[in-house]
Structure 1
Amino acid sequence: MSDTSASTKIRPFTFEFPDTELEELRQRIEATRFPEKETVQDQSQGTQLATIQELARYWATDYNWRKVEAKLKAVPHFITEIDGLDIHFIHVRSKHENALPVIVTHGWPGSIIEQLKIIEPLTDPTAHGGDASDAFHVVIPSMPGYGFSGKPAKTGWNPERIARAWAVLMERLGYTKYVAQGGDWGSIVVDLMALQQPEGLVGIHRHLPARY
């Protein structure tokens, strides 16, 4: 049953980034003081100067944040407090009645942006050549300290704790049967969810096998 007390209420979340902040970021990128060029012709001394300069040029001149922002704003965002920390997440329910809930966890140094492209195929499979039986309700949280989630003020938010928090989140959303998916650090989180065996979790999928 969902917990709707004041401290654990699920709240709609919106965000805005003014042009002044974007311009200030571009100015800081353009003001970067680069190191001297490496003394070799390969990457044995690390990432090459030309690569870093091209990356900085892309972020300062070519990257279109407003385009990404529009994609983010096209889906519903929420915040809820778990274990004293605000957790941000995307939650998109399928129109198909028997859709299976799935919680999808990003990795490092990734973010929820990586998962935006999977939302429509999972929630509306019939529009993408699939069957209604393939449908999912999709939950995509930002890990603590990432994106719009709160930044922990002290240590302790390790993968085990995140795994427990995700189980709380799914219970709070009213899901009594669900699956979990993750890659990179997300794969470790879902592995630990399986080990913790929270009530309601019926299976996991990971795309980066790892030991923790």
Structure 2
Amino acid sequence: MSAPVVLRDVFRALRAELGEEDAGYTYDDGPGPISRLDVMVYPATSPADATIFATIGMSIEPMPPGDARAELRLHCRGAVSPADRERISLHLANLAGYPWTTGRPLGWGEIVTLSAPMPAFPTCQRVFLAGPWVQGQPSALDTEVGPVRVINVVPITEAERERALASHPQAFFSDLLDARDVLGPPPLD
């Protein structure tokens, strides 16, 4: 059976933007309408670049209870080991199912607690969901069924979560970008 048009469009958009993936992880039988979710890996080309993880499958249907579709991305500074790639992909697959397990959509400015720290970010068991923050990052992917929002997953510490809860999401994220490299683990205090 061929992939639904929205997922083909997301795949093509990723290829046009990021090139060919280096690896991919497939998760079957997810919650709700997610019968298959792929996490594609686009490797860093240098230590200063980021390895990018991108989901394909979350946008199969709009997130409950609304009509918005989305896919997730995570950027990680430098090369990522095969073991961490697999564990990061599993975390993203689980996060992609969140709207169907909780009945609440995901969106920019939200904080989600993970079941364990994000691999490659050992002090971060929470993630902040952000829109684009670098010129050229898309806010949405165009598909035949409408836009699919790109949600960037940014691992944060408990102290950062507390600061986020005390301020406006845009102000928090702007301060976080000024304070540290969000593509790598925060410095240990």
Task: Pick the TM interval, shorter chain.
Answer: 0.3 to 0.5
TM-score computed with the length of structure 1 as normaliser:
0.31
TM-score computed with the length of structure 2 as normaliser:
0.34
Higher helix share: 1
Higher strand share: 2
